[in-house]
Amino acid sequence: MIARVTLALLCCMFAANARTLRVPEQFTFIQTAIDSSQSGDTILIEPAIYPEALVIVDRSLTLAGTAPPDSANGIGVVIDPTSLPLANELACLEIHGGDSVKLRNLWFRNGEAMHEDRQTDDPGGIDNSHGLLRLALSNCRFDSVYACIRRGVVVELDSVVMFNSQRRCISRGDSGRVLASNCRFHGAVTNIMVSAWSGSTFASCSFTNLLNGWLLSAGQDSITVLDCDFGPFYGACDPAILIRAGSGSVIAGNVFHDFEIGDAVLEINQADCETVTDPSFRHPLVIGNRFEHIGPGDCQEGVALRIKCDGDVPAFLGSYEDNVFTHVTSLGYFGNAMSVHRGAAMIEHNVFANAGPDSCGAVYVLGVEPPEILLLRRNAFDSLAFGVQHASDDEFTDARLNWWGDATGPFNLTSNPNGLGAAVDDDVLFSPWLLVPPDSSDTNEVAVELPPLGPDEYLLSAFPNPFNGTTTLNITVAVHCSYMIMLYDITGRLVQTAFEGVVAHSQDVTLDLRNLPSGLYFAQLRSASRPLSTAKLLLLK
């Protein structure tokens, strides 16, 4: 309480003593004004070219141009150290320590002398690697800067343009949260153009790279990318956008267009898949995005969206809903619209149109084996496409209730040879299917069913319950594959693995707990990556 009151008093003191310093009216140089400032001051700067390399040390300041940059007419507060000695070792601004620096209506520029023989770690724009807690920019522009912003604990960007960046727009250290809205990131880089860590948000931003570096790399928890525009982009053999998705990541409402790429346009990658078993983990949500005019690049593995687990244990990789894939082609063998590697997922209400070639699946499945379950529901496939393709005979996909482009259903030589819709591989469970597209106005939509199917739910129940020593668990599952039943005590401690094996549709398991004390226990039915159903058990002796 005392600390909060003290901080509030200090803030009031700074506000009361804050001054406005003016350049060039009071100070000829911006650096002279900075040296004469104290925390809380604002420095107002008139439009002109300032050949300075600025340094702010241990103070919270606002630097603001009196007018926003006007690139069309070359008017603005331009900070450009190109003419200074050793220009290739300088940054437009270095910040050392302090709580907060705010920059508004400023234009940072590098000439050729700042690019030549420059060390790769030197930013050229803003060097924010020395302990500042918060850097906030609004209505600023970076022009041909070697690297625009280097590191930072929190970097806030509003209506910022980074044009023709030579190495990076934003680089991170071991951490760094970026909160960007209405920004334009444009580069000619062979590295990562924008990088960020946990809690970063990009909203209504655009990303374009003239060379083959990554557009965006973001990792850990709560990465949010909303209503952004990605492209054009040509030539990379790595993912253009890489999201190492931890808990709570959302990718929604974005457009990915005009790519020629030999890898994934967007990759959602869970490197530490074991963490998804934590009950508090929130799986990635990829919803309402559009992928269009995606073509092959120099390599042979181009795909619009790849989701994968890089860990030793496959995992549930999230939900992928209401996305549109159109005019997507590939020369490779790993799908053209979407590929799923080593993990289960829910893929629902997406559109796969004009995807090709027909030798390459719109959805490609690799290493998703029972007990992992890949679910496709209410998606719409082009009838000429290869709908679902498996990498081997070991994969399994539950693809019931989808529209395959024709009322006769998907083509499968063994199970539905008369189907005129998109082709599917063996071990794809596709019946029943939709007779009309999922967005059809036909309210009497009917699904065709061929062989009898198992239930649509995963249930676990016990009888008798309460019980004295032994009880019978009834397992009911939707998909024929392997399952486990884990028994936990009331503290959450794992007591034993009560069952491990293959279940077709329904099965009874005898549970003998005569060696355990009376109390409340929990039996959990699960696949290798996620819980499916839980039953509460009361043991009374």
Instruction: Encode pLDDT of 154-169 as tens digits.
Output: 999 999 999 999 888 9
- Cis peptide leading into residue 531 (ω within 30°): no
Q: Which residues, 6+ apart, have CB-to-CB distance to 222 below 8 Å?
A: 198, 199, 200, 246, 247, 248, 249
Give the CA radius of gyration of the chain. 29
Q: Is residue 302 in a domain?
A: yes
497 shares a domain with 402:
no
The SS3 call for residue 80 is coil
Q: Is residue 513 in a domain?
A: yes
Instruction: Check if the beta carbon of residue 196 is closer than 8 Å to that of residue 172.
Output: yes
Please give the structure tokens belonging to residue 202.
Answer: 């990009």
386 shares a domain with 366:
yes
Q: Is residue 29 in a domain?
A: no
Given a cut of 70, whether residue 508 has pLDDT beyond it is: yes
> For residues 236 and 314, what is the distance between their CA atoms, to the nearest angstrom?
27
468 shares a domain with 433:
no
Higher pLDDT, 395 or 137: 137
The pTM assigned to this predicted structure is: 0.80
> Which of 56-70, 266-280, 464-478 has the largest mean confidence?
56-70
Q: Of 197, 228, 248, which residue is a domain's last?
A: 197
Count of structural domains within the chain: 3
Average confidence (pLDDT) over 191-198: 89
Average confidence (pLDDT) over 116-145: 89
Q: Of 453, 479, 502, which residue is a domain's last?
A: 453
Given a cut of 80, whether residue 296 has pLDDT beyond it is: no
Given a cut of 70, whether residue 273 has pLDDT beyond it is: no
506 shares a domain with 437:
no
Q: Is residue 24 in a domain?
A: no
192 shares a domain with 235:
no
440 shares a domain with 394:
yes
Given a cut of 50, whether residue 453 has pLDDT beyond it is: no
> For residues 301 and 264, what is the distance between their CA atoms, to the nearest angstrom?
7
Q: Is residue 203 in a domain?
A: no
Domain that holds residue 56: 44-197
273 shares a domain with 188:
no
Query: What average pLDDT does the chain have?
Result: 85
267 shares a domain with 415:
yes
Q: Is residue 264 in a domain?
A: yes
470 shares a domain with 511:
yes
Q: Is residue 30 in a domain?
A: no
pLDDT for position 454: 40
Per-residue pLDDT of 382-402, as tens digits, reads 887 789 999 888 788 899 999
The percentage of the chain sitting over the pLDDT mark of 70, rounded to a whole number, equals: 86
106 shares a domain with 84:
yes
**Domain holding 492: CATH number?**
2.60.40.10
Q: Is residue 82 in a domain?
A: yes
pLDDT for position 513: 92
pLDDT for position 332: 61
- Cα–Cα nearest to 255, from 243, 269, 241: 241
Given a cut of 70, whether residue 355 has pLDDT beyond it is: yes
> For residues 269 and 396, what is the distance between their CA atoms, to the nearest angstrom?
21
pLDDT band at 138 (very low <50, low <70, confident <90, very high): very high
pLDDT band at 450 (very low <50, low <70, confident <90, very high): very low
Q: Of 453, 477, 497, which residue is a domain's last?
A: 453
390 shares a domain with 298:
yes
Given a cut of 60, whether residue 447 has pLDDT beyond it is: no
495 shares a domain with 378:
no
Average confidence (pLDDT) over 339-361: 84
